[in-house]
Amino acid sequence: MSPVVETRLRKRSTSEKPDSPAGRNAATSQSASHAEFASSGRKGKILLGLVSLTLSSYFIYDKLTTSLSRKSRNDPLAESYALCSREGAQQIYTVDPGNPHPECILVHQDKFISTGSLDHVRSVWHESSSGRLQVRHLGRSQIVVPGLSDSHSHVLEYGATKQMPLEGTTSVAETVQRVKAYILADPDILDDKSKYVEGWGWDHTKWLLEEWPTYQALETDPIVAGRPVVLQSKDGHALWVSSAVLKAMEPLPKEIEGGVIVRDSYGKPTGVFLDNAQDLVSRPEPTHKQLQKRFAATVKDAHRLGLTSVHDAGFNPMSLEFFRREAHAGQLPIRVYGMKYFDETAAYWGDSFEKIILIGNNRLTVRSVKIFADGALRSGGAALYEPYTDNPETRGFMRISPELLNEVIPKFMKDGWQVNVHAIGDRANGVVLDAFEAALAEANVTALRPRLEHAQILAKHDMARFGDLGVIASVQPTHAISDMWFAEDRLGPERVKGLYAFRSILDHDARITLGSDFPVEDMNPLAGFYAAITRVSPEGTSPHGPGGWFPEQRMTREEALKGMTIDPAYASFTEDILGSIAPGKFADFVVLSQDIMTVAPQKVLSTHVVATVIDGKPVYGTI
């Protein structure tokens, strides 16, 4: 018989005020969910008595609004239901070490109430209600996992890429043709040459001739020429602009700290701006309606792919205000953990900005700061200890000085902020780890759960420091199988061994949380799962053959699943209410078409999402 866990009644402490953090936690606790469960049972009896209906497969909802919203469905899902494995099958993965594979899960309204055998969850149900429990069984090959989370993403930027996607082109000329097609398809832009044309996703490392583009290329086509065009690179670390934009930016500074204005042999700007130099490019801010459109496009794909929560890696003032407004209006259909962008040129705000914790029906939190330490490997901006192998003239660059890092990190920690730092190169990672270590003298680093976003290239002596300092490695496995084709040329045969060294980090007792960095990479979390456990391309190849690129750095399936569920919850301070299937937690879970924990690795990518459930209700598919 399966082990059982259930929610028990307890009184909330008088010190847990409803509007305090403790009170908010209590509101999502086991006692609260069980009390609501018992109360709704009594309401169900009253309703049954009033309408004298006999329900064979479900009982009446205790909230009229829920009933009305589901009225049009042929097979409505009751507010309380049990979802069970087929007899003798192991189809539920809770990521709860105390009860990893129960036969059934019991959901009431927005919480998990109990897990265990069907007899057990029925007995828990009947303790609080005499109504009939709806029981559903999974399909023969299906499994249930906790709601999936992406620990590093760019939500509104992903929606923007849907407007004019540039990924997959093989040359500058082909990319310009994409821009032309976009203009021709939009009469408003076609008829007004003053309107900005924006796109995302060009990748010069994938072009047949690997070179930086120029503004002249945008002037060769008569439809594109003369327009203000701003095109973001795939990795988000470079902007390619047209002549009209370039002229509007004059005069340009000779240099910019933490960035590069790409110039030709005569010293003239070519129209490409790297890292901090991107801040020089001005463009009109999108309207709230445009942002809503972008957000809706992102959420649609996220739900389809099983994501119930996302960590947005860089709220600027515009996006922060957008998400705050949507949360207050009750219009966040996905959980968002936002990192507030740090601008090194602005005044320190950690002691004056009020943190946002679980507002909008527990959908929005902003309690971390995002700092950029360096650039990207793809664009040559990652800060290295030694020069690039394929470009010995540079070691990349820091986007922020070590002195400023050592000044602001302890301040943010002292003021209760989680500090998340983008670091790609080995030098950048070492500098940030030094700053975290120095901050130990002023704050408890582990308690504040600092994160290194990407942690891509690590010196061997730095790999052990994650576990020692309690620093979370927020990594993106799909980056590994994208970069593996050019990484050794860029870093050399020895240094490349420290790139995407997931196993080396884990073996030093560190915690890894997984993301995609979408739209830089595919949003599909199963693509990240596949990359983490195989280190081969979707076609099954790698520079080291079908066995994988540095296969000794692979993660196990259990580690990868944790990295998409309970570890992101820990990294966002929500492990008590999210991240696993356990009584008292919010009922976020995903039904997958096949068992990713046992199928052949090549079959993982053919798995599709049957249903995505948030707060006990499907937001995609059906149960």
Say what the pLDDT of residue 235 is.
86
Which residues, 6+ apart, have CB-to-CB distance to 237 below 8 Å? 274, 275, 278, 375, 376, 378, 379, 381
Say what the pLDDT of residue 447 is.
77
How large is the average pLDDT for residues 441-465? 88
Q: Judge whether residue 408 has pLDDT over 80.
A: yes
**Residue range 236-293, pLDDT digits in tens:** 899 999 999 999 999 999 999 999 999 999 999 999 999 999 999 988 999 999 999 9
**Residue range 93-112, pLDDT digits in tens:** 999 999 999 999 999 999 99
Task: Provide φ and ψ at 491, rounded to 5°.
Answer: -115, -20
Which pTM was predicted?
A: 0.82
Q: Judge whether residue 13 has pLDDT over 80.
A: no
Mean per-residue pLDDT of the chain: 88
Say what the pLDDT of residue 542 is.
98
Say what the pLDDT of residue 24 is.
40
Q: Judge whether residue 31 has pLDDT over 50.
A: no
Position 440 confidence tier, pLDDT thresholds 50, 70, 90: confident
**Residue range 530-573, pLDDT digits in tens:** 999 999 999 999 999 999 999 999 999 999 999 999 999 999 99
Say what the pLDDT of residue 167 is.
87
Q: What is the DSSP letter of 142?
A: -
Q: Which domains occur in the chain, in start order?
A: 5-147 (2.30.40.10)
Q: Judge whether residue 85 has pLDDT over 90.
A: yes
d(CA 422, CA 428): 9
Q: Judge whether residue 214 has pLDDT over 90.
A: yes
d(CA 53, CA 61): 13
Position 23 confidence tier, pLDDT thresholds 50, 70, 90: very low
Among residues of the chain, what percentage have pLDDT more than 70?
87
Q: Judge whether residue 62 has pLDDT over 60.
A: no
d(CA 150, CA 527): 12
Which residues, 6+ apart, have CB-to-CB distance to 217 below 8 Å? 172, 173, 176
Judged by average pLDDT, the poorest of 30-39, 178-187, 193-202 is 30-39
**Residue range 228-244, pLDDT digits in tens:** 999 999 888 999 999 99
Q: Judge whether residue 154 has pLDDT over 60.
A: yes
d(CA 397, CA 237): 13
How large is the average pLDDT for residues 167-187? 95
